[in-house]
Amino acid sequence: MSDHQQPQGWDDVHALVGAYAVDALDDGERERFEAHLRQCADCRDEVASLQEAAALLGTDDVAPPTELRDQVLAGITTIRPLPPLSHDASGGAPVELAARRRRLRPFSSSRLPLLVAASVVLLAAVGGLLLRPWAGTDEGPLTATEQVLAAADATRYEQEFPDGSRATVVVSRSEGRAVILTEDMALAPEGKVYELWLQSPEGTMVPAGLMPDEPDTELLLEGDASEAKAVGITVEPDGGSAIPTTTPIAVFTLDT
Amino acid sequence: MDPVHDDAAGAPHPGAPAGRHDTAPDLGALLKRSARGDSTAFAELYDATASRVHGLVLRVVRDPAQAEEVTQEVFLEVWRQASRYDAARGSALAWMMTIGHRKAVDRVRSAEAATRRDLSYEQGNQTVPHDETAEAAQASLEARRVRAALSQLTDVQREAIELAYFGGYTHTEVAALLDLPVGTAKTRIRDGLIRLRDSIGVGR
């Protein structure tokens, strides 16, 4: 994957590898870098090797209290271990089998959100067994994308393109974020990129990120979607634009 | 509990930090059994790794009570995610330490605890007893190796890595703390980690 023809701001994406490996990215950077990681085998390899090195830094052994062992062993009885990931033959990022199934039959069901919601319930149940309940600020293991997809108010807007490919925008007003899912979407022409936009309540189109150069994607839009009126996709020169320079190829008008 | 000697004997799981005594349990095998719901294997895994993980969490989080909560979360997460460990990508211990570090950093960031922001707070809380076992002696051997590897780094690389890894600071904060131009701390961190990795021979 030619990751380094990424738009501006990504020219130094490799330099973030080290900071990511030691959790020194802020939340926004972490999300964007993880989106990049899913497409860049080189970065995944480097992250793994640097995490291996970083893990050696922790050489202080401090035994936790013995009660902690009992609490952990009691806690696991209520948690179902996750199923294994599958690796696709192309050597891409491992994907959850459930996600793979969903991609093959996209948009046909809301099963994943239900599953995710179920796991949230389970985590909440586990939380009750802990020393203290999970801190309110602890997001648990859900990614921001999963949180949007699992949100109770997640709303889906689907569009089909003339060539049969499809794009779906999922918006959660409560999470204030939007996610776009594409299936078999034609790649942007050479030297071009699909840029995403959130239309503000005032009508301004605000850049919301660039789509990866892949037909099947799942991408968290940058920016606040809590009051956005619409999500648009335009074709822009590589690197993206600050304002749309072409007529959108798709506009998803959002319910208010 | 006695560490099991799970026997892909001789096949050093790519995980054990080099130099770790070879009677150590095969953490990768224990993880694999844990993924199948084997709580006995998980208990052995806990016994083999809890001190190391908690030591890291405590160093980052600093507050002993909060550190215990985080360590507990870490092990529940390890249990949940055990099937996701991929031996081809690194050692089991590093995988667990990565989960532990992420949770510890998330905790200090979300807590914004005044104590953590106070850089004068003494590292290594004295109220927490250190593990006085053979493992501690082993650890000091490893610690010497790591110190030797760290000495290969430039001062700035080492400081940047320590502030990020043990301080839980973002690269932007590290840049400010070290009076580096914005955007350069991430490069120092990466260069330093690469040098650390290469000099310590991870994964060999």
Number of H helices, E strands in chain A: 7, 10
Nearest beta carbon to residue A52 from set B140, B187, B203: B203
Record: contact A138-B106, CB cut-off 8 A = yes
Judge whether A122 and A78 are in contact, CB under 8 Å: yes
pLDDT at B136: 53
Give the separation between CA A138 and CA A127, rounded to whole angstroms.
11
Chain B residues whose beta carbon lies within 8 Å of the beta carbon of residue A16: 171, 186, 190
Torsion angles phi and psi, residue A63, rounded to 5: -70, 125
pLDDT at A193: 87
Question: Mean pLDDT for each 10-residue chunk of chain B (204 residues)?
Answer: 42 42 78 96 97 96 95 97 92 96 94 50 40 54 84 94 95 95 92 93 56
Closest-CA residue of B relative to A22 is B165
Higher pLDDT, B46 or A223: B46
Q: Number of C-alpha atoms within 13 angstroms, CB side, residue B24?
A: 25
**% pLDDT > 90, chain A:** 23
pLDDT at B36: 95
Which residues, 6+ apart, have CB-to-CB distance to B53 below 8 Å?
A: B71, B74, B75, B96, B97, B100
Nearest beta carbon to residue B164 from set A19, A71, A82: A19
pLDDT at A189: 81
Which range among A42-46, A93-97, B108-112 has the greatest average pLDDT?
A: A42-46
Which residues of chain A from 106 to 165 reach within 8 Å of chain B, CB to CB?
126, 130-132, 134-135, 137-139, 141
pLDDT at B129: 41
Residues in chain A: 256
The mean pLDDT value for A202-220 works out to 86
Q: Is the ipTM of this complex over 0.85?
A: no
**Residue of A70, A41, A66 whose CA lies nearest to A129:** A70
pLDDT at B23: 60
pLDDT at A4: 43
Which residues of chain B from 125 to 164 reach within 8 Å of chain A, CB to CB?
128-131, 135-136, 139-140, 142-143, 145-146, 149, 161-162, 164
Q: Side chain identity at B145, as an amino acid letter?
A: R
Higher pLDDT, A244 or A3: A244
pLDDT at A190: 81
Strand partners, A171: A155, A178
> Per residue in A152-187, pLDDT tens?
788 888 887 777 778 889 898 888 899 998 877 888
Give the separation between CA B91 and CA A48, rounded to whole angstroms.
10
Record: contact B55-A132, CB cut-off 8 A = no
Instruction: Looking at the complex, report in whole angstroms how far the Cα of residue B120 sits from the nearest Cα belonging to chain A.
Output: 20
Which range among A28-37, A131-140, A247-256, B46-55 has the greatest average pLDDT?
A: B46-55
Instruction: Looking at the complex, report in whole angstroms how far the Cα of residue B178 sits from the nearest Cα belonging to chain A.
Output: 15
The mean pLDDT value for A218-240 works out to 88
pLDDT at B103: 96
Cα Rg of chain B, angstroms: 17
Which residues, 6+ apart, have CB-to-CB distance to A238 below 8 Å?
A: A5, A7, A191, A192, A193
- A43-55: b or e for each residue (b if 16 or more CB lie within 10 Å)? bbebbbbbbbbbb
Among A121-130, A137-146, B31-40, B121-130, which is the least confidently predicted range?
Answer: B121-130
pTM of this structure: 0.58
pLDDT at A160: 78
Among A156-160, A194-198, A232-236, B107-111, which is the least confidently predicted range?
Answer: A156-160
Judge whether B80 and A79 are in contact, CB under 8 Å: yes
Nearest beta carbon to residue A48 from set B17, B52, B89: B89
**Residue of A160, A166, A201, A196 whose CA lies nearest to A178:** A196
